Structure 1
């Protein structure tokens, strides 16, 4: 498999297509509970930055809410290759934020729009819930007279999302479903599904996703 890995790397370097600038990785709580899952995540973040990504968003889909705090705590200890922010549900139902650097040092709590960390992680913040929260904020602003409902546009919604940036490439391992990930943000993203489970995800699998992206003709809904 060493020769095949080398082939993929050379093919990537010679490819004319631009790599995705913003990569999103969708994983589940079961993925992270497997042995070595956090090490795999740290490596995958490194691969993404190595192969041209300027931003990486990780969405951890959670069915069992009792594990959210544990996963959030462990993710905040991640040995990531660049500064990152982890957001999980706060005590009031909104997003709670925490930034950590390359060395894992505490950098303090921040609001949803206060950090420009290149790596962003959400835990248990599903796309439906995120969109509903944005609508509630809009309703409050309208009720308080701060916003004219006739002027509400897509930017007003995006400004109220936890992570408003739109990914270029979304990678989902294990199954062909998004697991309630970034419904608004990923509407024009290229989706890449692999039947490789997260515990078996390797550099070659990431490169396959990038090469697949480079060979597509993006249409942005047209």
Structure 2
């Protein structure tokens, strides 16, 4: 019998049951790639909060979000990032206690943050992976110049220690398309990728559950 014939809520419960009974680990770190238009859409931020609560419910520990700001004009881009940052900060304050977050602007500056215990959200407003790596390299070069570290000490671990996001995503989700983005370029080299043609405004809770269930079914190879 087709479970979908009983309606979406029942199928959601079925997926939830599959996820919780699976011996395969739920992703600890989920990365989500959005466009600025996704959050400017009616109830776009509300949908994001619902997604975060869903991931939190299923014991995801960290969600990294990249908001790709597509405007070419730098002034307009900065204004848009500032407006979205203020709206997101206000909305994130309503997240459950124990939830920490960090919202970064176009240059990677931390505009607001809150400590958390069991769940953390990192959100980047247009500051991508190439910029993150470039800034990390410049920071290391400054330390070499100041004599705090020797050139021969520079290795992958040192570079990673200078990145904003220290953890590698288990899975990266891109809604509304099939393209990668400039986000967590270094950290995501062995991440699982999940593309969906569903635009963010049409994403439902059931779609998020399918992402988690799909991850559980995969056999990760870490580049091997």
Aligning the two structures, in what range does the TM-score lie when normalised by the shorter sequence?
0.7 to 0.9
Note the alpha carbon deviations across 1:174-193, whole angstroms, 9 max, x for none: 11223211101111111111
Q: How far 1:117 sits from its partner (Å)?
A: 6.5
Q: How far 1:16 sits from its partner (Å)?
A: 2.2
Q: In 2, Cα distance between the equivalents of 1:94 and 1:118?
A: 17
Choose 1 or 2 for highest CA Rg: 2
Q: In 1, Cα distance between the equivalents of 2:70 and 2:146?
A: 35
Q: How far 1:209 sits from its partner (Å)?
A: 0.6
Residue among 98, 112, 130 paired with 1:98: 112
- Spell out the pairing of 1:30-41 with structure 2 (5 A cutoff): 30-41=37-48
CA separation of 1:68 and 1:116: change in aligned 2, threshold 3 A: farther
SS of 2:110's equivalent in the other structure is: strand
Structure 2, unpaired ranges of 5+:
1-7, 72-76
Q: TM-score scaled to structure 1, two decimals? A: 0.86
Contact 2:108-2:124 within 8 A present in 1 as well: no
Q: In 1, Cα distance between the equivalents of 2:42 and 2:59?
A: 28
Q: How far 1:6 sits from its partner (Å)?
A: 2.3
Q: When you count helix as a share of all residues, which structure comes out higher?
A: 2
SS of 1:131's equivalent in the other structure is: helix
SS of 2:38's equivalent in the other structure is: helix
SS of 2:66's equivalent in the other structure is: strand
- Spell out the pairing of 1:22-61 with structure 2 (5 A cutoff): 22-61=29-68
User: Does 2:82 correspond to 1:69?
Assistant: yes
Q: How far 1:100 sits from its partner (Å)?
A: 4.0
Aligned to 1:105: none
User: Does 2:95 correspond to 1:80?
Assistant: yes
Q: In 2, Cα distance between the equivalents of 1:151 and 1:100?
A: 33
Aligned to 2:74: none
Count how many residue pairs are aligned between Structure 1 and Structure 2.
207
RMSD (Å), alpha carbons: 2.0
Q: In 1, Cα distance between the equivalents of 2:208 and 2:80?
A: 27
Contact 1:95-1:162 within 8 A present in 2 as well: no
CA separation of 1:116 and 1:127: change in aligned 2, threshold 3 A: farther
Q: How far 1:101 sits from its partner (Å)?
A: 7.1
SS of 1:26's equivalent in the other structure is: strand
Q: TM-score scaled to structure 2, two decimals? A: 0.85
Q: In 2, Cα distance between the equivalents of 1:75 and 1:94?
A: 16
SS of 1:77's equivalent in the other structure is: helix
Aligned to 2:4: none
Contact 1:76-1:100 within 8 A present in 2 as well: no
Aligned to 1:194: 196
- After superposing on structure 2, the runs of 4+ consecutive aligned residues of structure 1 that deviate more than 3 Å are none
